[in-house]
Homo-oligomer: A and B are copies of this chain.
């Protein structure tokens, strides 16, 4: 069974969408990645940091999903990272209302001894210096995946470029890919990102799906058209969790298999947005995942015989 090492926030979120509002609930990139990847046959562990205020029930939720939490530091007297945000009506954009770094301000990640030989590493959205520190503690991973966001482009450009140069796959949203490269065309943006280091580029387009690029090859995974999107928080992390979880389980990191991985990523994300926060992911059943994968098949698979037009 492959080991998947995840670094990212384990945190509190307070979310407002057109459909409602939450108090402080469980959130954080590593939480979503962990819950999503827990549906695959892997040995996963989270490296993160929380304060004394973090409920044991939340930690128990992670362990009950088979996630090792030895790498989650609990700071006595400390307070957990907190983010609150409000989504606009179309749910595609949001305003950050408040960010309290708290214990995250002095986070020196320590990878547990047992996971330093992890074959798969998922560097969830965090300061690039923290991502880099985790990467340096891992011996010789088979595949390193990086997720990041525009905040680090604005505030830690050099560190970000440094960590980007050391990973195999980057997952990033479309506007961020444009910001990172100065290219509007995502095909051109991907090409510029290869030059920064990653051989594989995954560009997430929210409700418009995700693109996987590798050299001159492309693959597209749609988002599932939904009647209602309730709360997009964590969808990108959940995508990354499905993507890396599937790859870690299969052990196959070819482009062909990464196609399946982005479909799994998109499928897991389609559950995440159905309820507030981690609510949907906490109770997600394997049979539901399989049904959804069948929906993705019927949504995308066609059978054109290429003698169909005049050409042949």
Q: Which residues of A contact B (CB under 8 A)?
A: 39-41, 90, 184-188, 205, 208-209, 211, 217-220, 222, 225-229, 246, 249-250, 256, 259-260, 263-264, 286-287, 289-290, 293-294, 297-304, 306, 308-312
Which of A222, A227, A302 gathers most chain B CB within 10 Å?
Answer: A302
Q: A184-B90, A205-B208, A263-B304 are in contact. Are A41 and B310 (CB under 8 A)?
A: yes
Partner of A218, one of B39, B185, B225, B303: B225
The minimal Cβ–Cβ distance linking A224 to chain B, given in whole angstroms, is 9
Top 9 nearest A-B pairs by Cβ distance?
Answer: A286-B311, A208-B208, A259-B302, A290-B311, A220-B222, A260-B304, A187-B227, A286-B310, A187-B225
Closest residue on chain B to residue A307 by CB atoms: B290
Partner of A249, one of B185, B218, B246, B308: B308
**A226, B225: Cα distance in complex, Å:** 23
Closest residue on chain B to residue A245 by CB atoms: B309
Q: Which residues of B contact A208 (CB under 8 A)?
A: 205, 208-209
Q: A187-B225, A208-B208, A287-B311 are in contact. Are A302 and B40 (CB under 8 A)?
A: no
The minimal Cβ–Cβ distance linking A71 to chain B, given in whole angstroms, is 23
The answer to whether B222 and A222 touch across the interface, beta carbons within 8 angstroms, is yes
8 extra A-B contacts, CB within 8 A, seeds A219-B299, A293-B309: A246-B308, A246-B309, A256-B303, A263-B304, A286-B309, A286-B310, A286-B311, A294-B306
The answer to whether A225 and B186 touch across the interface, beta carbons within 8 angstroms, is yes
Q: Copies per complex?
A: 2
The answer to whether A299 and B188 touch across the interface, beta carbons within 8 angstroms, is no
**A304, B242: Cα distance in complex, Å:** 14
Which of A227, A299, A309 gathers most chain B CB within 10 Å?
Answer: A309
**A249, B227: Cα distance in complex, Å:** 34
The minimal Cβ–Cβ distance linking A12 to chain B, given in whole angstroms, is 29
The minimal Cβ–Cβ distance linking A100 to chain B, given in whole angstroms, is 33
The answer to whether B227 and A188 touch across the interface, beta carbons within 8 angstroms, is yes
**A263, B300: Cα distance in complex, Å:** 10
**A204, B246: Cα distance in complex, Å:** 32
The answer to whether A185 and B40 touch across the interface, beta carbons within 8 angstroms, is no
17 chain-A/chain-B pairs, Cβ below 8 angstroms? A41-B309, A185-B226, A187-B226, A205-B208, A218-B298, A219-B299, A220-B300, A222-B222, A250-B308, A259-B302, A260-B303, A260-B308, A264-B304, A264-B308, A286-B310, A289-B309, A290-B309
Closest residue on chain B to residue A268 by CB atoms: B309
Q: Which residues of B contact A260 (CB under 8 A)?
A: 302-304, 308
The answer to whether B246 and A298 touch across the interface, beta carbons within 8 angstroms, is no
**A308, B261: Cα distance in complex, Å:** 10
**A228, B186: Cα distance in complex, Å:** 10
The answer to whether A297 and B304 touch across the interface, beta carbons within 8 angstroms, is yes
Closest residue on chain B to residue A259 by CB atoms: B302
The answer to whether A289 and B311 touch across the interface, beta carbons within 8 angstroms, is yes
The minimal Cβ–Cβ distance linking A9 to chain B, given in whole angstroms, is 26
Closest residue on chain B to residue A297 by CB atoms: B304
